[in-house]
Amino acid sequence: AQKVTQAQTEISVVEKEDVTLDCVYETRDTTYYLFWYKQPPSGELVFLIRRNSFDEQNEISGRYSWNFQKSTSSFNFTITASQVVDSAVYFCALSVNDYKLSFGAGTTVTVRA
Amino acid sequence: EAQVTQNPRYLITVTGKKLTVTCSQNMNHEYMSWYRQDPGLGLRQIYYSMNVEVTDKGDVPEGYKVSRKEKRNFPLILESPSPNQTSLYFCASSLSVRQPQHFGDGTRLSIL
């Protein structure tokens, strides 16, 4: 069975603060894919990043960065110098070889001006 | 424009009245799936389809049916809706489950 846990339900920060979102996953498969999606207040779901289980390199895209650690089964997401436009619900997701896609419960980020 | 189109966007109906939510994609994607989003539970997969005529249950399939007769369409059917199926529903498509999902805009269902 596969499972994704996002323990942080809500995070509130002041603009320009950094914020880190935790994602812990469970799977017995050695091949799997991890994703992050963003859901702004308008409601659409936007893909942010994909990482496969063989690639543990961290990634940076502008103010966003991701830290993938297989040793702790974690795929954490950091927003540096947060902005009001970063306010959204962020979902971590996991796919393994049985064609299912499992999402975490999501973390609501509120960035206050 | 590449897109996943869901209809209707909003629906209020009554218990037991069969309804269908349509989903269509124009990207020639093989993988399609349905999710429901509920507060505190995130997105939960209802059904998925790897290709035409190939479908399988996700984590919360009870009370739902799907079909995949054409590659572009993946309707979600509630044969006898109940109030616990009140939720926000998303359809998604991709080349495979290992690829990023393209989501529709969502359908908000209220079952009274």
For residue A30, pLDDT over 70 is answered with: yes
Peptide bond into B100 cis (omega under 30): no
Read off the pLDDT of residues A10-20 as tens digits, 9 standing for 90 and up.
Answer: 999 999 999 99
Model pLDDT, residue B17 = 96
Model pLDDT, residue A98 = 65
For residue A97, pLDDT over 80 is answered with: no
Q: How confident is the model at residue A105 (pLDDT cuts 50, 70, 90)?
A: very high
CB within 8 Å: A91 and B43: yes
Q: Which residue of A has its CA nearest to B40?
A: A105
Q: Which residue of B has its CA nearest to A42?
A: B105
Residues belonging to chain A with any Cβ–Cβ distance to chain B shorter than 8 Å: 6, 9, 33, 35, 37, 43-45, 47, 50, 52, 91, 93, 95, 99-106
CB within 8 Å: B43 and A103: yes
Residues B9-22, mean pLDDT to the nearest whole number: 97
The answer to whether residue B35 neighbours chain A at the CB level (below 8 Å) is yes
Model pLDDT, residue B56 = 95
Read off the pLDDT of residues B63-84 as tens digits, 9 standing for 90 and up.
Answer: 999 999 999 999 999 999 999 9
Q: How many CB atoms lie within 10 A of CB A106?
A: 24
